[in-house]
Amino acid sequence: MADPIPQFWHIISTLKSTHPKLMYLHLVEPRIAGDRDAAAVLGKVGESNDPLRALWSPGTCILAGGFDQERGTQAADADGSTLVVYGRHFVSN
């Protein structure tokens, strides 16, 4: 999908208006390249779900995908409604 933001924008705005008491939105950041962090592979972090987080605000967002401690802390500290989860290296197949 060339630009997924418009499609997900529609889905999330519909969720927000039809289910205003929904507890949280769980998003996976597009930072994974195979089984590695895209920043490690590509040398940079590219796309982000920030527009979708802003749309859902002030609701709680749970973010996953390619966070190291520094970027996870920055995302969690950015506002009072973002949680960062880690799991790829801790979940067995």
Predicted TM-score (pTM) of the model is 0.77
Neighbours of 27 (CB within 10 A): 20
Tell me the β-bridge partners of 33. Answer: 36
Summarised one tens digit per residue, pLDDT across range 45-62 is: 557 888 999 999 999 999
Going by the DSSP 8-state scheme, the letter that residue 37 receives in this structure is E
- pLDDT by residue (tens digit) across 64-81? 987 888 989 999 998 889
The pLDDT value given to residue 29: 81
The percent of residues in the chain predicted with pLDDT above 90, rounded, is 48
CA–CA separation, 4 vs 1, rounded Å? 6
